[in-house]
Amino acid sequence: MRKKSFLLWLLLLATVVIRAQPINQVRKISSFDKAWMFFVGDPAESDKPGFNDSQWQKLDVPHDWSILGTYDHNNSTGRGGGYLPSGIGWYRKHFELDAADSKKKVFIEFDGVMANSDVWINGYHLGKRPYGYISFNYELTGHLNFGRGKTNVIAVRADNSVQPASRYYTGAGIYRHVRLIVTNPVHIDTWGVFVTTPQINDQQATVHTKTWVTNQFEADKEIAVQTRLFDAAGKEVGKPVISSARIAAGKSVIVEQDNMVSKPKLWSTSSPVLYKVLTQILIGKTLIDEQVNNFGIREIKFDAQQGFLLNGKKLMIKGVCLHHDAGAFGAAVPLRAWERRLQLLKEIGVNGIRTAHNPVAPEFLDLCDQMGFVVMDENLDTWEAAKNHGEAGYGRFFKEWGLIDTRDQVLRDRNHPSVVIYSVGNEIHDNLNDSAGFKKYRDLQNVVHQNDGTRPVTMALFRPAMSKVYVNGFAQTMDVVGQNYRENELVAAHEAHPDWKVIGTENGHTLASWLALRDHVYMAGQFLWVGIDYLGETDWPNVVNGQGLFDHTGGTRPLTLQRESWWSDKPVVHIVRKQENAGVGPVVADWTPADFDTYDDARVSVYSNCDEVELFLNGRSLGSKSKPADDSPRDWSLTYERGVIKAIGKNKGEQVIAEELKTAGKPAKIALAVDRPIINNNWDDAAYVTATIVDADGVPCPQADNIISFSLTGPGVITATDNADLGNQETYTVPIRHTFHGKCIAIIKGNNAGKLTLKATSPSLADGLISVEVVNKPISK
């Protein structure tokens, strides 16, 4: 009789949408960022709930305590860590839980703790994760106190004392977000919904979901899994799909389903359309868990003859590598900082990101989904063999944790449509010419395939002629062959093996590197080193690596302008000159020499993708030049004159764009410009204000080296100040900053709704003023 009634219930599920009746709030997800106690050092018994932390610093996370420290040549982090401090940091949080949740399951999720973290709940050790970039979670159930007045204490120890641990800046502490999650005993696993789109055409797309459900009751349970799809506007698309399953006590099941979408809108770099999948778990008609995941409907393919195809069309991946810090913010980066940086990159034609060389914060990939970037999702900078200036790094943990960390990264990231390929290593120094090296790569690649069979795997090969990977069979084991630099070697390798799929995993800014991509249709793409300047990997007195297309404040440089002329689909024209007389020195983008008396032989170049460029000096034409076949700049040699130099770009004889540079006079005032006039009152938002020293007519003064003092009135704070100087060792939190090439920035945040006014002052200059509105609600975009 019981079997018959169960079959009737299954029939009902197959024919109707369940209108679920929830048990209160079925899945509680609470931010756990507020009100932590923090201490640098290693006090005994800090893991115990009764430990007295009342004298510790109270703060919110994300928090990177290293970036708040002082630059010192003697700091043990060395050149890799940017000469910033390291050590052991403790975090403790006191909290209460509702008595109503005492029968629920409770979990804590960390998006990243740098590094070698140990976590305790009420004195019980939950576990250790060495890798500071990986997201992880623990179940707290069985170790908690419930009810008013019954306090719980979670303690986190982050150990960055063993140095040098990295070739580039890592940060220190709980530098990403934390969440507390409360579920019913039957619930969807962590990262337990996997969405793919295996079949797509103009009329219809199949959306395939795999859902992992766990039963932590002491009895078997009969469940239903209901999956519904919604478009970006929140409108339901297609029909819900309902499946049933029986889960044994203490076990898990996987439920696979197919939903159909008519006339799907495809995700692409130019139109990054997203959908949502709502997964609901029911017992009878009672909703016991639900989860929402974003996804995109798109088809990807790496091809040995055509490179990379997105939705059946070739897409040249014009990518950059990015490290995880954001200048003055260090490793604790508000989402707005990444949004601003990605906007800058998008504007010059970049469409791809390589996460060099580690898992990024999950919200970074959300931005890539929303903004239309394809991503090479990389896991590690080292396997077992150490690298210079990072001898005490991940190599100590690879044997035990390499496969686990790779698995967890893939499980977390596999629903992002932006992720199109995984990389399982950067310039690995392990021996790849023996069976052990082959096995390490094969094991990592297999872990990826086991957890996500929809994307290929590569790694950034290092000097293949030396490692023998092109002749010993290693490259043949790779889904896609990736190589750093030496583009001619990769071209030659494909010519010898036309069945290989190839991609430049790390590339220079040279014209030759660009032509290796432009002129070989089989090359899937390139990722420039690097998109934006980053902390560390540089020699004292510098503390910032300056190889970026943009400096670490977001400012442009001639590299930015030239790359835009190669990669942008819009008309581009930019004027640059050699800084010193007669073609000596670096390239600069201004018309104001440092010494007018010794500068008369000006060597001018124009970066442009236009058919024709005409150059003018003070209204006189200096002639027109056609676009070179090899995309090289158009050069002029002329006698310098103060005034205005102007370039006009033409296509088919018609002017489509123009740019002019003016000679600056004496510095007269501070001009302030803000990236957004309205910001949210939350941790993840900020406004970047750029202060530029200008003359009386508003022309920027590139030689100005003034000290600017910032002050703020209204409901907010000056979070940091900075400039683009690679050797700037001033503390970021002080509201005073030297200008560098006539510019510096202030970063401000709100702490309540209202109007902020930032004032910038400097002796002998007129003040600058600018206002920003702070709101307590999301900003429409």
Residues labelled as active-site residues? 427, 506
Strands 300-303, 307-310: pairing is antiparallel
Q: How far apart are CA 557 and CA 561, in angstroms?
A: 7
Q: How far apart are CA 275 and CA 266, in angstroms?
A: 10
Q: How far apart are CA 180 and CA 119, in angstroms?
A: 14
Q: How far apart are CA 254 and CA 274, in angstroms?
A: 25
- Tokens at residue 127, please? 């576990």
CA angle, 629 then 270 then 207, to 5°: 135
User: Which H helix or E strand runs over 489?
Assistant: helix 487-496
Closest Cα to residue 25, out of 287, 273, 256? 287
What 3-state class would DSSP assign to 141?
coil
- Tokens at residue 689, please? 């204000």
CA angle, 157 then 59 then 179, to 5°: 65
- Tokens at residue 775, please? 């709101």
Q: How far apart are CA 193 and CA 112, in angstroms?
A: 21
Residue 422 exposure: Cα atoms within 13 Å on the Cβ side: 30
The DSSP 8-state label assigned to residue 630 in this structure reads: T
- The 10 Å CB-count burial string (b at 16+, else e) for 225-241 is bbbbbbbeeeeebbebb
Q: Of all residues in the chain, what percent are helix, strand and coil, respectively (each to 5)?
A: 15, 40, 45
Using an 8 Å Cβ cutoff, are 362 and 139 in contact?
Answer: no
How big is the chain by its Cα radius of gyration, in Å? Answer: 28
Number of Cβ within 10 Å of residue 385's Cβ equals 12
Q: How far apart are CA 627 and CA 608, in angstroms?
A: 8
Peptide bond into 272 cis (omega under 30): no
Closest Cα to residue 89, out of 164, 43, 157? 157
- Tokens at residue 296, please? 């995109």
